[in-house]
Amino acid sequence: MAGRRRGFDREEVLDQVTRAFWRSGYDATSVADLTKLTGVNPPSLYAAFGDKKALFNEVVERYRRTYGAFTTRAVDEEPTARLAVERVLREAAVEYIAEDRPRGCLILSAPELGHLRKAAIAALEDKIRHDVDTGELPARTDPHALAVYVAAVVRGMSDLARDGATREELHHVAEVAMSAWPSPVP
Amino acid sequence: MAGRRRGFDREEVLDQVTRAFWRSGYDATSVADLTKLTGVNPPSLYAAFGDKKALFNEVVERYRRTYGAFTTRAVDEEPTARLAVERVLREAAVEYIAEDRPRGCLILSAPELGHLRKAAIAALEDKIRHDVDTGELPARTDPHALAVYVAAVVRGMSDLARDGATREELHHVAEVAMSAWPSPVP
DNA sequence: TGTCTTTTGTAACGAACACTACAGATTTGG
DNA sequence: CCAAATCTGTAGTGTTCGTTACAAAAGACA
């Protein structure tokens, strides 16, 4: 038996909340900020999403499936680790500076999401290791070290974007970073 | 005409406060945390350092002169940009994981200190440009792009340290990162 | 229409926040 | 030893935090 219908679009509110957490972080974004931003009063917000922590968790999941999905897609779709990393860096330079969004990466900016970052490094490391095994990369290549290096560069790019870097600067970073990629022995 | 003497060591308290801000950041560190940590009651703390913002500013200045001085020293003391960057990366891998301190870099972790980061990039860029002018680096080298690349790597190393990376991992990042350094044309 | 269920706005809760009024304690200078 | 000056601990200030009690409003089903 149903009752009164929700007076707001759950997805639209979730996107507004995502951008707020993305811009300012979890702690610096108050529930009062969110109610003012969305026009949804506290009881409705809590009924729809649970408490602030649960709302943030849902925001993170949504972010992974939308704004943050380009990294996973590159690693999954590109045939080699080199092409995957090239694409991640090239796309990050665009994504992290997109005009109608907060800058940088929500996940890379949230201290409590280290497990997601660790998983991303492991996935890239596996892809690198595969290329070492097939001879696509030299046998001397250390897959873990190379994956952690890429992680460092991407995090640096996200931080720089938040500091106001330009798209050209990030593209330069990507270009220079790729020149550290191991070249096969002849 | 003097009165009652201060009951605590100002420098010692300042160091404890520095580590608190360093570990948890400005917002997440409450004045109540600081009074509990140092044993100094609020009125004494405010009399000695001013308000929370002024205290943080003094902490940052102190950090620059102590824990964070190794980067400036490397750029000032090393004869070439390459040696300076090599040294910054090598020392960062040690400094950012030191056992009796918070991990990472206080300045790189504080969103409001972008001006200090910008100044550090400019200083490195100048050193790189000097080496381009003297022929130490190839003429095609873009000093700004290379400096921003180094900034990205260092920030990534600081972030990784906070996430629990090991010293070996950071050393690997430094090593791989240096292989992107331009080599002179023969 | 009447009843049941769910959402809504108002208005508050206790806790934690940065900060300070005030009075007693402690020191130097006269 | 007295008086002026500085520091200390207690106990507050008003504000904001996340969260919720409550009753009116609104739609679904009998």
Q: Domain spanning A10-64 has what CATH number?
A: 1.10.10.60
Could you tell me if A143 and A125 are in contact, meaning their C-beta atoms sit under 8 angstroms apart? Answer: yes
Indicate the fold that domain B69-178 takes in CATH.
Answer: Tetracycline Repressor; domain 2 (1.10.357)
On whether any CB of chain A is under 8 Å from the CB of B160, the answer is: yes
For residue B48, give the nucleotide whose C1' atom is nearest its CA.
Answer: D7
Q: Is A33 on the interface with B (CB under 8 A)?
A: no
The one-digit pLDDT tens for each residue of chain B (186 residues) are 678 999 999 999 999 999 999 999 999 999 999 999 999 999 999 999 999 999 999 999 999 999 999 999 999 999 999 999 999 999 999 999 999 999 999 999 999 999 999 999 999 999 999 999 999 999 999 999 999 999 999 999 999 999 999 999 999 999 999 999 998 766
Chain A positions in Cβ-Cβ contact with residue B108 (cut-off 8 Å): 159
B10-65: CATH number: 1.10.10.60
Q: Does B177 touch chain A (CB under 8 A)?
A: yes
Q: How far is CA A82 from CA A53, A86, A117, A127, B52, in A?
A: 37, 6, 19, 9, 48
Q: Which residues of B touch A111 (CB under 8 A)?
A: 162
Judging contacts by C-beta atoms under 8 Å, the chain A residues touching residue B111 are 162
pLDDT at B3: 86
Q: Shortest Cα distance from B114 to chain A (angstroms)?
A: 6
**Which pLDDT does position B184 carry in this prediction?**
74
Query: What pLDDT score was predicted for residue A46?
Result: 98
pLDDT of residue A3: 85
B44 touches strand C (CB under 7 A): no
CATH, domain A68-178, list 1.10.357.10, 3.60.40.10, 3.40.50.2020, 3.40.1280.30: 1.10.357.10
Q: How many CB atoms lie within 10 A of CB A100?
A: 5
Place of tokens 């405010």: B46
Whether A156 sits inside 8 A of B160 (CB atoms) is no
State pLDDT tens for residues A109-155.
Answer: 999 999 999 999 999 999 999 999 999 999 999 999 999 999 999 99
> CB-based contacts of B118: which residues, under 8 Å, 6+ apart?
A163
Size of chain A in residues: 186
Extents of the domains making up chain A: 10-64, 68-178
Q: Where are the alpha helices (DSSP H) in chain A?
A: 10-24, 31-38, 42-49, 52-65, 69-77, 81-95, 106-109, 114-134, 143-162, 167-178
Q: B43 beta carbon < 7 A from strand C?
A: yes
Taking 70 as the pLDDT cut, the residues of chain A under it are: 1, 185-186
Give me the pLDDT at residue B162, please.
98
